[in-house]
Structures are given as structure tokens and as C-alpha cells.
Amino acid sequence: MDRRTALKGPICVPGDKSIAHRALFFAAQAQGATQIFGLPRGKDVRSSLNAIEKLGAKVSLAVGEDGIASVMVEGWGSDGPKPHMPEDARTVDCGNSGTTARFILGMLSGYPIKISLDGDPSLKSRPMRRLLDPLCSMGLSCSSCTWPIEVCGAERLKPITVELPVASAQMKTALLFAALRARGTSRITEPAASRDHTERLAEAFDIKLVKLTCENGFEITGPQTPCAPDDPIVIPGDFSSAAFWITAALCIPGSDLTIEGVGLNPTRLGFVKALQAMGANISVECIDDGTSEPYGRIHAAYTELVGPCETLANESATFIDEVPLLAIMCARATGESLIRNIGELKLKECDRLTAVIDMLSQCGANARVVENEDGSLDLLISGKAKLGIPDGIKVSAHHDHRIAMAWAVLSAVCQVQIRLDAGDIDSISVSYPGFLDEFSRRLGYAPIVRVE
């Protein structure tokens, strides 16, 4: 089988998962009906869609001839949620989605409704305490902080002044949803800037918030009810999904790929910045048409030699989901790379820090964690000119979609075929159903073999 194929041509990726979750949650809380175009088909977004529907939003989903989904959501507005569940059995299953779980907790904090949140084993291992603590100080009651998490919101929620312990867009958003229902001004800050999709969408839903100039964060005065925008929300392609194609194109000889219609929000582009500093052949053409999110085209072409990378501690949130891919790039760079402040990776769908180190060790690169005096964790990677993995080996992605796709990229880069179990392969549909088929089709061979 010839595995020396290159990735060519234009390509589109599914709609941005982060923006989709937020658009659905704002729309559910809004007065009026919101049209959302470009909804991704992944299971995570489906968990949010199901959740808002169960809680009382009216949802109608349509799939166009191009296969792209759009949804109309009629929110509960000032009437508040009206769960379609018997009062003694109000459980929302968040599946694998930490975003869904955290957003529900924030959103329901201001309503006296008892709700129980459940999820899959991965979600149940993820930290919720650091969100529940500030929400409980606002008035949320929590009868079980372990899974299934049982909470009951308060009619009168107190505002909060909080400095998040880590830069986290999920926590920031959950607290903003709670602050919408609080009486008074809340102030939410974080140690570094995380993705700002929530702040951008808040404006589209006519929410008044004041961005702080000297700190990363905002003040918001409640109560406020989002107002459905007149114009549809159009979700651009997901940069984090595009990142798999970018990495493969940069590493596979002869590749020349253009990704069209992808979101180019600057708070998501830390990976591009790092790649450009390494000397990778990647360029970005941005269209900022005044709608809430900039988007455009990314061009990536094979780059034989890349230099090492050294990222700053305060920029890790801008590429946190791309670390497995940045690590692959560093593994084939000349010299030592240092990716700073990525301890949060241990708390994702799996312990991604350990998963990445295991992955690099399989292809002959050396990576280790360095712990700093303040407790933060860096990843130190020694580059290796040519990566290689034994053909046919069986590896594990710990049922984590991004690790499974990173393995597919690494396998293609090494021009081998590796084996993953069915659960690992199925996990990909959390964010990017169809990725493996399209990747295999464009490569001309299957870099992953499914083991039942």
C-alpha cells in the first residue's frame, strides 16, 4: 500500500463547538426565537441541545441539502425554564460534555428548580467543585457535589466578585449565566485571557457587560434577560477541528491545504502563533465582517524543517485544546521546546498531559513534565528529525476524541497504520463525526484500524 500521499485542496470543517454550546444556551434563556446556522453534529453539542429542550426551550432542527444543520430555538425568556420532566426525576444527562454540565449549573443557579446532572465516566472524573463553590456562595444549593450532582437554584441570587484560579472560559461563562439572574453587579476576572465567545455573543443577545481594561474580565449587572437577535447566529468552522488538518498538512511531504470558513477569533489562535514562530508554512486570511466572530481561510503547506517553540505561561488558554498537536510539531522540531503552564490538560476528557507524553514516547521523541515553584506544569520536548512508530501497533486514546484524532495524524505523519479500540474511534464523534473517514479518503489510506 502506498502511504506517501499528500493532503491537497480546499476543505471545510464542522461548526465551532464552543460557539455552538454558547449560542444554544443564550438562545434558551432569551426572549424570542433565535436562528442558529452551522450547528456541528458532534455528540457534545447534541448534549446541550437535548438539555435545553428538556429544560423547556422549543427547539426545531433542520438539516439543509449541504448537510449543514440549522436550528431555531424559542427561549423561555423572563418566564424561566419549564422542565419537561416529572418533578421527582429531573435528570439531565450531559454525556461527555463538561461544557454542557458547567453551563447548566451556572444557568440554573438563579431558578428554584431541583435538577440532577449525570454524565459518562470521563465527565464524572472532571472537577466541578471549583465551579460549585462560587455558585453556592451566590445562593445555589448543592445536595450532592459528587455525581450525579444534585442542585437547586435560588430565586434571589447574590452577585459575586470572583478571581478564577485558572483561565477557564467554561467557568467564566457558567458564572456569567448565574450573574444574569443575580440582583446587583458581579465582577468575574481570570489570571489570563481565555476564549471570549461568550462576551461576543452576549452583545448579540443585547446583554450589557462592561469589559475591564486593567484585568482579564468583566462586570455585569443583573437581572438581565437575553433578547433573541434579529439576525441569525452563523457559526464558523471550528479552529480546533481545523488544527488536525493543519498539523497533518505541515508534516506530510507535498501537502498544500486550504481550510475555508474557519473561525479566527484571536483568543483561539495561539496554535497558529506558535507554529509561525517555529517557521511553519501557515498563513491566515481573516474576514471580519462585523458579525460577532471573525472567520476566514487558513493555508498550510508541508514544512520540512521547523524550529523549537517556547510559549508563555499566560497564553496557554489560547491553544489548550491543540496541545497534543503542538506536541507532535515540537517532536519533529530541531532542538528543545517548552510549552508552559499546561497543568489544566490533566483535567480534560482524559489526563491529556500523560496521554501526550505516552504518544510522543511511542514515536521516539522525549517529553517530560517540569513542575515550577508556583505548582504550574510545563512540558519539555526534545525534537527528533524523523518520527517513527512501529507499523500495526495498538495504542490507547483513553476514549478522548482529541487524543484519538491526534493519533490518526501521527500515524499518517509516520506513514503507518495503527490500531485503536472501538471506544477510542467512537469518541471522535464527540466533536468531529466523519473525521476519520474524510482523513482516510484524502490520504488515500486508513491510518487507523478499528479493533473491536
Residue 169 touches ligand S3P, criterion: CB under 6 A: yes
Using CB under 6 A as the criterion, what x/- string covers residues 329-348 for binding ligand S3P?
Answer: ---------------x----
Q: Does 326 bind ligand S3P (CB under 6 A)?
A: no
Shortest Å distance, C-beta 452 to ligand S3P: 29
Query: Could you say whether residue 48 binds ligand S3P (CB under 6 A)?
Result: no
The nearer residue to ligand S3P, 43 or 195, going by C-beta atoms, is 195
Decide if 136 contacts 96 (C-beta within 8 A): no
Task: Decide whether 255 or 429 has the Cβ nearer to ligand S3P.
Answer: 429
**383/413 Cα distance (integer angstroms):** 15
Binding piece for ligand S3P, criterion CB under 6 A, among 113-121, 167-175, 391-399, 409-417? 167-175
Contact 179, 186 (CB under 8 A): yes
CA angle in degrees (0–180, nearest 5) for 29-166-288? 60
User: Does residue number 235 form part of the binding site for ligand S3P (CB under 6 A)?
Assistant: no
Q: How far apart are alpha carbons 345 and 326 in whole angstroms?
A: 13
Restricted to residues 282-311, the positions that interact with ligand S3P (CB under 6 A) are none
Q: Is 168 in the site for ligand S3P (CB under 6 A)?
A: yes
Among candidate residues 259, 270, 293, the one with its CA nearest the CA of residue 36: 293
Query: What angle is formed at CA 197 by the lines to CA 54 and CA 325, rounded to 5 degrees?
Result: 100
Q: Pick the closer one to ligand S3P by CB: 169 or 252.
A: 169
Residues 177-206 that bind ligand S3P (CB under 6 A): 195
CA distance 22 to 121: 24
Taking Cα atoms as reference points, which of 197, 216, 210 lies closest to residue 265? 197
CB of 103 to ligand S3P, least distance (A): 9
Shortest reach from residue 302's CB to ligand S3P, in Å = 28
Q: Which residues are catalytic?
A: 321
CB-side exposure of 448: number of CA atoms within 13 Å?
27
Smallest distance from ligand S3P to CB 344, Å: 6
Does position 216 interact with ligand S3P (CB under 6 A)? The reply is: no
Range in contact with ligand S3P (rule: CB under 6 A) among 61-69, 107-115, 168-176, 412-420: 168-176
Using CA atoms, how far residue 416 sits from 7, 64, 245, 256, 401, in Å, is 16, 37, 17, 21, 20
Cα angle value 341/344/346 (rounded, 5°): 120
Is residue 321 a contact point for ligand S3P (CB under 6 A)? yes
Among 99, 100, 186, 427, binds ligand S3P (CB under 6 A): 99
Q: Hey, CA dihedral for 377, 341, 295, 331, is it positive or negative?
A: negative
Question: Residues in the site for ligand S3P, rule: CB under 6 A?
Answer: 18, 99, 168-170, 195, 320-321, 344
